Amino acid sequence: MTALLTDERWSRLLRTRATDPGAVRRAYASRRRRENLLSDKGTLFLVAADHPARGALGVGGDPLAMADRRSLLERLLVALANPAVDGLLGTPDVVEELLLLDALHDKVVIGSMNRGGLAGADWEIDDRFTGYHATALVDARLDGGKMLLRLVDSDAGTVPTLQACADAVTELAAYGLMAMVEPLPYTREDGRLVLQKDATSLSRAVTVASGIGVTSAHTWLKLPSTEDAAVLGATTLPVVVLGGVPTGDPAADLVSWGRTLRHEVVRGLVVGRSLLYPPDGDVGAAVEAAAKTLEAAK
């Protein structure tokens, strides 16, 4: 992996963090914004890095893979250096670190909003908004907000999360910002949350997410890859494919994403751990392979 985060650059970031907190505000204000969300080819390819704020740090057999912040930032710099990558989905801390590293000019930046449903917590489904909110996204001159909406019929924590997401969709639309909603149906099996990827469950989640808020004009959906056309046929909203938990088989992941990307409502990819922590460690190659898969599908 190319060493983009040198010792000097890392030390400068730490020094700025400790001595000049105002640098963050200035970095937000000076970021060169891209005019359009979509690329010239009509696609959107984002790298996701909002997992740590929810306490989801593991990748493969390493439970602390994403806990090493210098390594995470290094990997993100490699990914963002690829011109096919349109931008970033991240929490305020990650966004601000990359701003201070001058890595987000002319990139789409989507702020992650609800991270309070900590991975493995008893209250995980009651996913409070602990990151960006709509006004903050406007003030920060970002391009939209993303929210996770896990639907568990047996868990009442779904209700406040559903209401909070609906309110966020309404607020973001009032400012003309993208609301990226990630609706995922789960059930509890032996105390564990298990994602339901059957067409019935996913289609239901799509229709629920499509209808929240006072308008869907600015709503996008972030969905798992699926081979069932019925799921994607349940909406006219633009869809991006999420990477999900890495399977350990990058080739199989690419094939799966590629099949979904060919559907007419699908506009792109939003992938995190699968690209940032590939089994062979070559982030640049993983990102390039995903970019080619998107290009081939569109």
Judge whether residue 2 has pLDDT over 90. Answer: no
Judge whether residue 227 has pLDDT over 90. Answer: no
pLDDT at 66: 97
pLDDT at 244: 86
Contact 79, 290 (CB under 8 A): no
Min mean pLDDT across 2-6, 74-78, 274-278 is at 2-6
More confident residue, 141 or 1: 141
- pLDDT for 121-154, tens place per residue? 999 999 999 999 999 999 999 999 999 999 999 9
* Average pLDDT estimate for 94-109: 98
- pLDDT for 174-197, tens place per residue? 999 999 999 999 999 988 999 999
State the average pLDDT for the chain.
Answer: 96
Question: Given pLDDT bands bounded at 50, 70 and 90, which one contains residue 3?
Answer: low
Q: Check: pTM over 0.85? Answer yes or no.
A: yes
Give the contacts of 240 (CB within 8 A, at least 6 positions apart). Answer: 44, 46, 180, 220, 221, 222, 223, 266, 267, 268, 269, 270
pLDDT at 4: 87
As given in the structure block, the two tokens for residue 213 are 């808020």
**Residue 146 C-beta-side C-alpha neighbours within 13 Å:** 27
Report how far Cα 228 is from the mean position of its chain's Cα atoms: 23
Contact 285, 275 (CB under 8 A): no
- pLDDT for 258-289, tens place per residue? 999 999 999 999 999 999 999 999 999 999 99
Distance (Å, rounded) from C-alpha 155 to C-alpha 189? 12
Q: Which CATH superfamily is domain 37-297 in?
A: Aldolase class I (3.20.20.70)
